[in-house]
A and B are shown apart, each in its own frame.
Chain A
Amino acid sequence: MSEAVLEITSVKSEESEMAVYEHPLLVRICHWLNVGSLFVMIGSGLQIFRAFPSFGPKIPQVNLLHWPRPFALGGWLGGGLQWHLTFMWIYMATGLVYIGYQLVTGNYRQVLFVPRDIPGIWPMVRHYFFFGPKPPATEAYNPLQKQAYTTVLILGVLSVLTGFAIWKPAQFSWLAWLMGGFHYARIWHFAVMWAIIFFIFGHLVMVILHGWSNFVSMLTGWKTNPDYPVGWQMPAPPVATPAEATEDDSIKHPTNEPIKEPIDAESSSGKSASPLATHDEPSQNEQSQSEPRN
């Protein structure tokens, strides 16, 4: 499908909804390959860790924590190593394909965290964790999401670099040296794993909270009823329906409240129906926000 935005009309009713193509095929393939690879890498990594669950000396050995065998992959050290040393190639290849694709297509722009996003972090954190108001969604990824997805990419790269330092501390002695030598590289590798686990946990919570159509977009690429303005504006509907993004000033809504009927310029609020009229702050762009249909 060459169009990035569609209006889907229902055969049965007058209603229609928008859908935006969020995730290209290669991004989706890499995502699900990573789900499998990370499951194996973390499970087998913990199996390997079980063989010497300490970052201190061997004599005397003081274990850091006991990781139960049922939650490790491989059954024994040899098995864990087989999984780990096999899947690391799939994991690395997927990462390279993903990064390469994002760079070549420019698709990285929608997800890469840049300094411009910094002011938007706190409002998102306040909204997610401290019951703050929902900041207006102006783009596909909000600043906190960008920060998370950019960070996890960096963590992925670090997991590979620290992994190389402990897999090849002689051939890549310079790399191991940067990390303080083999003994410390092993600690960093373990720490990076926990940071990735932390990301996965947060990511799953967010995926569950953001509903089915959001989840489906990572399967089919299409998200129906996106909560941010999409490129193509549909013309004003001929009947009174809750407004989507439109160029007709009279039904722009200045707040984030879902509306039940068209707002017109003579509304009792007395506000001028400017596209930029919002409660808190000017919106980031000239388009009004489309609301998710319940």
Chain B
Amino acid sequence: MPELKIPDRKFNRLSRRELFKLAPVVALGAFAIPKFQQPLLKKGLAFSDWASSKLFRPNHLAPTFSNAQLTPFDRFPLNGYDVEDPGVDFDVWSLTVSGAVQKPGDYKLAQIQSLPKITQNVRHICVEGWDVIGRFGGVRLSDFLQMIGADPTAKFISVECADDYYESLDMATAMHPQTLLCYEMYDRPLTREHGAPLRLNIPTKIGYKQAKYLTDLKVSHVLERAGYWEDQGYSEFYGL
């Protein structure tokens, strides 16, 4: 069967041709080139964020837990980026609301607490990899957004904090029923280190999004600053 016999020269050419067909794999090497590495990784992270936003379901609840499953309060870690206690003066504290809202201005804690209270036992996951189950009490951010007359077509919530930390939320997550303006932990008012008098509790987001010692809240259509950690290269959406 002569057509199945080929001379070795022809086989070598054939083999070489087959080898070159692997060329698409070499494209992966772009990640090793310093000039392309950061832009490629940034695009990759942005793609992951986009996929995450598509996977987010507005009515799907994060798991909740019984009181028996709670991590003891004294084992609930503190993470800060600057100081643990920025020395908030509770007498003068207010949440300054601005942006695409009908009723901007300063909101005192009592006004916020007049909204329906939600308590939830949820898992808090840190980007570092550890997790704890905590008990958080507060009001739904969606209720507060209604109170301030937030533009329902707005896309982002941005917050600023007493320790100069800053974060942002996509509107879909802001409207989620488990996203709380939280003022209690373990049925007690927040301690200073845990973000008194007001913090975010968002069981559908990574820990660093759940900003503490809130001072300002802004509703907008455009995102000005994603967040402290995001500006360093961490994920902007980081939905769980």
**Contact between B240 and A168, CB atoms less than 8 A apart:** yes
**Contact between A220 and B19, CB atoms less than 8 A apart:** yes
Which residues of the partner chain B approach A268 to less than 8 Å between Cβ atoms?
Answer: none
Known contacts: A78-B232, A82-B42. The answer to whether A52 contacts B63 by CB under 8 A is no
**Separation of A258 and B235 alpha carbons in the complex (Å):** 61
A222 within 8 A of B: yes
Q: Mark B81-118, 1 if CB is under 8 A from A, else 0.
A: 00000000000000000000000000000000000000
Q: Mark A1-37, 1 if CB is under 8 A from B, else 0.
A: 1010111111100001001000001001100110011
A170 within 8 A of B: yes
What's the interface size class on B, roughly? 35 or more
Q: Which of chain B's residues 53-77 have a Cβ closer than 8 Å to chain A? A: 55-57, 60-63, 71, 74-77
Which residues of the partner chain B approach A219 to less than 8 Å between Cβ atoms?
Answer: 18-19, 22
**Separation of A211 and B203 alpha carbons in the complex (Å):** 54
Known contacts: A32-B25, A171-B239, A220-B15. The answer to whether A85 contacts B48 by CB under 8 A is yes
Known contacts: A77-B128, A81-B235, A83-B41. The answer to whether A57 contacts B75 by CB under 8 A is yes
**Separation of A90 and B31 alpha carbons in the complex (Å):** 12
B24 within 8 A of A: yes
Total chain A interface residues with beta-carbon distance under 8 A:
57
| Extra inter-chain contacts (8) besides given A8-B6, A169-B63, A182-B123, CB under 8 Å | A7-B5, A16-B5, A32-B22, A58-B132, A170-B60, A170-B62, A170-B240, A177-B63
Provide 8 A-B residue pairs closer than 8 Å at the C-beta atoms, listed in order of the A residue: A3-B4, A9-B8, A57-B132, A58-B132, A79-B233, A86-B47, A176-B63, A220-B18
Binding site for B on A (CB under 8 A): 1, 3, 5-11, 16, 19, 25, 28-29, 32-33, 36-37, 40, 48-49, 51-52, 54, 57-59, 61, 77-79, 81-83, 85-90, 168-171, 173, 176-177, 181-183, 186, 216, 219-222, 232
